[in-house]
Chain A
């Protein structure tokens, strides 16, 4: 239970961990300090200034100086948080953030499954050797993958917690989402936008391979496609 209630983020497996996690810890520190200061002050005041015989409250209406100080400090702190966060946002979600050598795939969400289209051995989407697999996302480690994300019906949301990536899949829109895994292994993909009765089981397995294993896997998939 102790570990479950930890304020630490669970381990991640993409480069976005480096881009995002520190922002969380920074905000945790800032808000944590604010929390302690405010709540402790509150409790101290409640004890110190409780009604007791012979006491009277101080008749004071405020302090302009205090207002100016705490307003400016708060404003400066939040603006700094904004400035520090902007680069990560542009990198992950901005058009220009997508690495030019990213491997393209297509992801179509529909009630209640994820269909991933792979470019096949030629590495190009939209050619004859493309193949589509349901419920499985296979990607190579240490290489960026960019997915063209869309939906067939309702709005879904592509969420891989270990990659720290989330992007809504909207019918009628094709939205680029990219990530670069850093650890070989198996992870989970879940839907993060209510999409109907099966929303809770709209799951897929994400497998991060070594480049070698990935190429092998692609070849075997292409082989079975060709056999059909």
Chain B
């Protein structure tokens, strides 16, 4: 089997391709072309950046809660970062920028798309691997230098990028305005390189889902996680190149003297915003759709009930994918853009609330009359729904453009974005990691500590981010190093302090998750094939599955949400089990277990 082509196209594996991988360690685990290994590589990379992004948030929250007080450990930092331990505005602006940059591009996006896109797609559609395994490997190994380059910004003169994760020009184009030169250049270069990684991943995922589904896995039998990842990959394919283009233009303004965003030479600062947000809005749907998809899978499983309104859920995913292209201007209501455009973007933005609402009602419909098991992933998935609702509803306030005049660039926006990205995406990620951990590593995460982590996170998370709505309503601007400069904000300092302390507790709590993750890898209870009694194809395989996945190509007979079906005594029927008594049916057995 050593002669098996590493280019595993579907044709060569019609008899299934599960086999022992006897290649050397480096080919098996470092430069692997196995989608499962690559998914785990992205997992390790992304969780590291999640930790880094969280640490930067702690720096920000320290300064906001206790302005002018020395940061614990601050005296260890170079004098360009702190002065006698007190955070300097240079470091604060850098932390603001890199927190957002790391979280969006190197944590949440790769966690959802790089990890679960890679891990789940071939398994859940019944394929031996992705369509282009070597390009998959290239995608990961392109993301790594992009991440290193972004990190390198902290170690060069001038420090890291400091113009916000949105990098508005001309601030980001002119080092005389930020005091940062190399750091801003690295920011652009890093994203251009990361863009290549993402694009490679996207056409790989799309080709795989279209062309490599197992027999019987027609489109409307796909799990919602796969639908969501598929639409997300389409968004990545079409949106990321626009960011790449924008970053190139900015890089050229920074380095070779072009004038794209330079008003003195006829350039247009607003051009940056249009390009960035034309990418940026589909990007936020990239950051939520896979979360919604995986939450759907987990909620149906926990409720032991079919997804309520599967077709509507699919249509909602697709319509979010389409409508998401037409709302970018809502980030630019106050930008000086033609106000008439503002009205059109207000309408399109209000309309996009509809498919998300549909999904929420369908999740409620799924648990209604269910038989709910509260396993740890289910807890996180339910928190996802409940927190995402808050985030989605807060979005309505800013969609109404006249009220956005007041809350734009205030903490109301910060509250909204964290409710959807943390309350939404990150809780879904906790759910998904816990859920698929046994499949990935062959061990269960500890459920007791999983519950402790869940409850503490839920409480501290809400204490941290809910009061930000009030800060914003009071007029508290974003990205300000010292709110006490303003009399109208000084009275809100107790709120800032409360938020900061909650944030420190929230951050500390995550070490429970990290410890659980790491320790379970070595000491966790050994996982059966199907610990959650799920219908998906991956649960018919050993934990972890062998290289090449399926020993025989599975045939799919139904969708993935047939829980509590009258066709079986068990409350689940895996997708590849023939219908009892139907054509080709053998004695019905639950696969795996």
Contact = CB atoms under 8 A, between A and B. Distances in A.
A166 B343 contact: no
A164 B393 contact: no
A24 B351 CA distance: 18
B479 interface: yes
Interface in A173-228: 173, 175, 188, 190-201, 203
Nearest to A157: B409
Nearest to B393: A31
A100 interface: no
Given A63-B365, A89-B401, A95 B409 contact: no
B196 to A, nearest CB: 28
A22 B263 CA distance: 38
A104 B36 CA distance: 65
Interface stretch (A54-62, A113-121, A124-132, A137-145): A54-62
B353 interface: yes
Contacts of B93: 194, 196-197, 199
B402 A19 contact: yes
A62 B308 contact: yes
Q: Is the interface of A mostly helix, strand, loop or mixed?
A: mixed
Which of B164, B170, B303, B402 has the most C-beta atoms of chain A within 10 angstroms of its own C-beta? B402
B216 interface: no
Contact of B309 (A24, A57, A63, A192): A63
B389 interface: yes
Contacts of B347: 79, 82
B396 interface: yes
A155 B178 CA distance: 12
B334 A196 contact: no
Contacts, number: 294
Given A70-B358, A92-B405, A164-B405, A60 B177 contact: no
B343 A89 contact: yes
B480 A95 contact: no
A23 B335 contact: no
A191 B480 CA distance: 9
B170 A49 contact: no
Given A35-B393, A45-B364, A154-B170, A86 B475 contact: no
Nearest to B335: A168
Nearest to B267: A172
Nearest to A159: B477
Contact of A78 (B306, B350, B480): B350
A94 B491 CA distance: 34
Contacts of A173: 263, 269-270, 336
Interface string A47-87: 00111100111111111001100110011001101100110
A42 B386 contact: yes
Contact of B374 (A50, A56, A198): A50
B250 interface: no
Given A10-B474, A153-B170, A154-B177, A46 B346 contact: no
Contact of B310 (A42, A62, A168, A191): A62
Given A78-B351, A154-B170, A201 B482 contact: yes
Given A27-B403, A56-B371, A59-B306, A190 B477 contact: yes
A93 B339 contact: yes
Given A49-B372, A194-B164, A82 B486 contact: no
A148 interface: no
B89 interface: yes
Q: Is the interface of B mostly helix, strand, loop or mixed?
A: helix
Which of B170, B171, B309, B491 has the most C-beta atoms of chain A within 10 angstroms of its own C-beta? B171
Interface string B345-357: 0110011011001
Contacts of A46: 367, 372, 382
Interface in B366-385: 367-374, 382, 385
A35 B389 contact: yes
A85 B400 contact: yes
Interface in A1-40: 1, 4-7, 9-10, 16, 19-20, 23-24, 27-28, 30-31, 34-35, 38-39
Given A49-B371, A82-B346, A196-B171, A164 B401 contact: no
B237 interface: no
A81 B343 CA distance: 12
Nearest to A47: B372
Given A46-B372, A175-B336, A200 B89 contact: yes
Contact of B357 (A7, A56, A70, A155): A70
A74 to B, nearest CB: 4
A28 B467 CA distance: 16
B184 to A, nearest CB: 12
A31 B305 contact: no
A41 interface: yes
B371 A51 contact: yes
Contacts of A56: 304, 371, 564, 571
Contacts of B350: 78-79, 81-82
Contacts of B310: 61-62
Given A59-B305, A66-B361, 17 more contacts: A6-B470, A19-B402, A24-B403, A35-B393, A38-B360, A45-B367, A59-B306, A61-B306, A61-B307, A62-B306, A81-B350, A94-B339, A192-B408, A194-B171, A197-B93, A200-B89, A201-B485
6 tightest CB-CB pairs across the interface, nearest first? A172-B263, A161-B475, A62-B309, A88-B402, A58-B369, A200-B480
Interface of B: 89-90, 93, 96, 163-164, 168, 170-171, 174, 177-179, 263-264, 267-270, 303-312, 334-336, 339-340, 342-343, 346-347, 350-351, 353-354, 357-358, 360-362, 364-365, 367-374, 382, 385-386, 389-390, 393-394, 396-397, 399-403, 405-406, 408-410, 467, 470, 473-475, 477-483, 485-488, 491-492, 494-495, 498, 563-566, 571
10 contacts: A4-B492, A35-B393, A56-B564, A63-B365, A81-B350, A154-B177, A173-B336, A193-B168, A194-B163, A200-B482
